[in-house]
Structure formats: structure tokens, C-alpha cells
Copies of this chain bind each other. A is one copy, B any other.
């Protein structure tokens, strides 16, 4: 499968020509979402070809009973699954009683699909010849409202071309849906009640076990040549579905169309008893607006998002399309309105990986949200982990830790671990460090220390306790070691002294100690509350300090580099360039043991540490480590190329930086990893943003000031981005010739460009 069918375009994702082989990939690529819900780009009308149906409601999940080959102590009993929700988009279409089904049509011409990222809608048009030889022209448009995030709208038009025709529209709701990803083929939804009121219908259903109550709703109206038809639909009710059947007669060349509004109300936000009435209210509002006005509002809402978060790239349409696709999908997934939500690795585009929250959020997504939204959005993401602290402590207890040590889960929906590979669940503990790092990063960027006394300190204490207990003393080395871990490079399992993990562990302890002191000095009441709750003692803190001060780091004198882990140099160090092409990707071609004993790195590991803590190392050290590890990195994780792009840019290796940038930004559009059918790689999209802003733009925050070291790939004429830094909005434009800075607002801003401090005044273009 090659996705070269996606047309380059600055603002849209466009597919031309119908190919059933592309349907599942396009269902992922053309996904739409509004932060509260989202859906794959499934067709409204019946489709009998291969398809992966998906409509998802944020925060609504199912705890699927764990399935394993051999049970290991500590495995979670349940694995939270992203849950395919009842479908509301369906509109079956009959032409002279023959179903319109692109898979069975005699001919499909001029098929075109567009995801308009600027305005936030999805459209589709085609001409099809049905088995009964009627030719129809079809065009559809669909969007999920940003303003009213319970609702979406569909306009569906059919024009018979070669004959008069009877057109039947059958809009429906269906709660008899299934999940692709189910362990035991359990039933996930229980339909409670179906209600009809005029041309509105409502299905109340609840999820099994988690008991999320939802109301899936719709309203339809039918038009002929834009004239609303008054006919009452025929009602078809089944146990898990409700449909309205409308039939109209149109002459050849005339247009029959249907407007359908639908969506969900959910008891995560409303009283259970209010779900139907809330749905009615939403429908009343959108009916009053009508499709066209609602679409106008959609454009406005997206325009505001783009105003702040757009990145322009001149002279490279594929790069431009790539970055906008990433920014668009991130905003479709998470808008920061709700601190109980997070950013799932597949967002609303697929079921794979289950759970909504990985360390991706802290390591990759927070910088994007900090710079393109107000600081409250990032604060909400931190608060999400604070709210899960108790569960993280329980999770650590299950693994034998004590005294309030916290181990955040690898994958979670509600704070509970829901992953079950021992090598990841129990051993990929570096995730705990990313959660502490995000607190540091948030404070560094926003200057908002208040989060730490209020919430962050408790998290830092739980994490420091974990590391102190997890490290063990090696008599042989006279150092503390951390045995049996998996680092970010998941192509190693159960290794000893992963440098990244050890470094992060030491840093977490030091950072917690530093903040205990700060809070003790500056926030006495908070200190009393937190120390009372956590019962930290001086003796305990001394234990922490001892571990942090005596942590072991594997190092090669010969290569003058930190070793990814003990024994790395024992491997057969054949570079990726010398691997036969037919062996790649190794995760599809090699058995697991072969991958494990190879030197190949799935994603930045040691270099991830150099990214987090770049001030701790000289540029020469970075260069040595980059030159050593990059040749063994296969980037088979979506989270890898962005970090390498940033590091390559820092080292002025711009060709490499550009190659990695393309790979990260078009990972899904070009389907590098041959798996886009399963959904998009949402969290890594934030890494793409970092590649430009931090990589090419060289943006850092040092001592409360924005720093830049702008670079530009030779393939580009110019690029620009905006950042919101402590409520001041700065636009940066980098061309081959110069870099310009423009400041909004009315206060000056001091920034550092290429190590020289300059002052930017509002509305005054500064060239450097």
C-alpha cells in the first residue's frame, strides 16, 4: 500500500479517484474530531467493501478483560479500550430501490475526497453508475462542530444524471456496533431506550461495566433542489437501531438532498436523566442555525485556532501540507478544555493501543500546547496526572513498592494501568521521569511556579520515592544501579542501567529535593499540607540524596559516550545502512529475540536524554552521541524522527534534519510504517511541531527568556510560526535571507537570538 494518492495542497488533504484498497487508509487520514468526539472518515451510505468503522467519544472507554498467553503476577485484570460508540452518521441511499454502495457500483468516476483543514470540514463527491444503470452525482459535506461540541452536521446530495429517479434517504442511528479491538468478543454497549420525536431520534445506551450513559441523537430534513420537503418519514425501529425513510422523486439533473445533524450527549458532563433533553436542546439550536450558518461558525472557530497555531512553509508544498495536517489533527484531538481528558496516541482515528494516555503527552505534546494555547491547557494536562496520583501509588504497591512511591501507568484511561506486557508494563518505568520532567518544563516555559506547591510537589515526591526504592546498591560497582528496565528504545527489554532511565531517576530525585526546599521556603502552608500528607522526613530525603549522588551511568572510555545500557558494546555493531533492505522494517521482518540482541534502536533513547537535558552536555558531547547512536536508529517508532531532527538541526546537520522532518511530518500521509489503516499517530504529531519550532527555529526557554537559533532547510524559501510565551504572542519568520520577529500586544519582550539579547517592541518587525 502506498499513499501517494494523496494530492499535495497547502490547506487540504485531497484524494482523487476511487480505489477500494485505499478506503481504510483514507478513513484514518480524513478523520475529523472536535476534542469531545471524533470519527473515522467512514462513508455515510452503505459500503460493503473493507472498512474500519469508528466513532469515538472522548473519555468513554471500556475495561476489556485482559488477554495474555501466560499470566504474570502484577498484570492488570482489565485493559481500557478506546470504544467504538453508536454510529450517528449513517444515511443509506437507495436509487430506484437499489442501494448506493461504492463497492458494488458498475462505475465510479470523479471520486474526490477533501479534508479542508483551514475550515474544518470533510467533503466527498463522485459520479456512480449503480447496478440498475442509473447514474448519480453525489456530493457530501460533514463536520464536527467546534462551537457545539456535542454535534456534527452532514449535507448529502444526490443528483440522478441519466434518468428521473426515486431517491430514498435512510438516515439512522445504530447502537449495535462492535469494536475491532476486543479480547473476548464481549458486548460493549447496552441499548436502553429508543425515543422518537418528529424527525428527531434518540438512542440511550450505556457501556457495560463502566456504565457511561450516552444519548446518540439525530435529526434530518430532506430537500429537493434546496426546497425543504414536508413529508413525514417512515419510521423503522430495531432493537439497536432507528431509521427514518424518506423517499423523493427527482427528475434527471435535479438534486435530492438531506441535512442530518447528530452526535452525543454523555453523562460525563450531564445528569443521566438530562441526556435526551440536552440532546433536544442542541438539536433545536443547530436546526435554528441551519447547516450553512453552522458551517460558517465552524470556519470562524478554525480560523481562530489557525491564527495562533499555524506554521507556514514557503516553497515546499508537501512539507507545508504535512505540518498543517499535524497541527490540525492535534487540535481535532485535544483542545485542553477538560482536565479529565488527555491525548490518545491514535486520537479519534482508531482503536489501537487502547487507553488515552501515554508518556507521549508529557514528552511530546505539552510543548505544543504550551506554545499554541494559553497556559491553562498545559496546566490541565499536568493536573490530569495529579488527579491520578493515588492510582499511581496503588500501581506501585502492586509491584512491591511502599511508602507512597508512585509509578504512573504506561497506558491509562482513569489512572489505572491497562497494559499487559511485563517488559513494558513493569519495566518501562522511565515514563515516571517524563511526568516529572513535564512539571519542570511547564514551569520553565510558563514561569508559573504555583502549580508545584499546589499539586506538583506531591507528584514529585511520589516519583522520587519510586526511584529511590527502585534503585538497588551494587556492591560490585559501589554505586546504585537500576536493573531490569526497558528504556524508550523498546527494542531492548529487561536491560540493566539504561542510561536514560538512570539519568532521569537521578534528576527526578534532585528536582524533587530542590522543590521541597523551594516550597518549604516560599509556600509554608503548602509545605505543611504536603509534608503532613506525604510524611517525608529528613532521614528519607537523605536516603534519596544518597541514591541520586551515587547513581551509576554506563560509559565507554573508548568512545567517550554514555552507553545506552550495560553491555551495549557487546553487540554486533553493524549500522542500519549496512542492513539489507529486505530486512526492514525489522519489527515486521525479524523475530523478537533477533531484534533484542541487535544494536538497532526503535526510537531516540540516549538522545532523548540529551534532548531533555541539553544544558547538561556540551555540543561536542551531543555530536559524539548523535554520531554514535544515529547510525543504529531505525526510527520504527513514530516518536523517533522528531528528536533526531531537532538534534541534527542543533548540530547544523541540516540535510539530516530535513529528512527526519519529512519523515515525522508525513509519517501518516506517506504511511512510512505501513499501518495508517489502523489510525493516525496523533501524539507524534506534536513532535513534528517541535522539529520546526525547536529544531529549525532553535527555540528554547532559558532563564525566563525565549532563545532562538534559526536555521532553514535549503529546500524551503521561508517558514513562520507563532508562540504564546507568557501571554505575549511572538511571530517568527525565517527565510533564507533573514529572520524576522513580530510581537503582538503592547509590552516589550526581551529575547535571545543566536546568543545575543534583543528587545522586541510590539507591532514592530525586527529583522535579524
Contacts and interface: CB of A to CB of B under 8 A. Distances in A.
A588 B73 contact: yes
A483 B597 contact: yes
A566 interface: yes
A93 B69 CA distance: 40
A79 to B, nearest CB: 8
A578 to B, nearest CB: 15
B426 A496 contact: no
B569 A74 contact: no
A178 interface: no
A497 B571 CA distance: 12
Contacts of A475: 569, 573
Contacts of A230: none
A251 to B, nearest CB: 55
25 contacts: A67-B67, A67-B69, A70-B421, A73-B590, A73-B591, A398-B591, A399-B594, A400-B594, A422-B593, A426-B591, A426-B592, A426-B594, A472-B572, A474-B571, A475-B569, A475-B573, A476-B558, A481-B570, A483-B567, A483-B596, A484-B597, A494-B495, A494-B593, A496-B567, A566-B570
A72 interface: yes
Given A69-B421, A70-B421, A591-B398, A571 B493 contact: no
A74 B594 CA distance: 10
Interface string A291-331: 00000000000000000000000000000000000000000
Contacts of A72: 591-592
A477 interface: yes
Interface string A494-531: 11110000000000000000000000000000000000
Contacts of A597: 472, 483-484
Contacts of A473: 572
Contact of A593 (B426, B567, B591): B426
A589 interface: yes
B494 A493 contact: yes
A577 interface: no
A545 interface: no
Nearest to A483: B597
A420 interface: yes
A579 interface: no
Nearest to A484: B597
Contacts of A423: 493
A621 B426 CA distance: 37
A22 interface: no
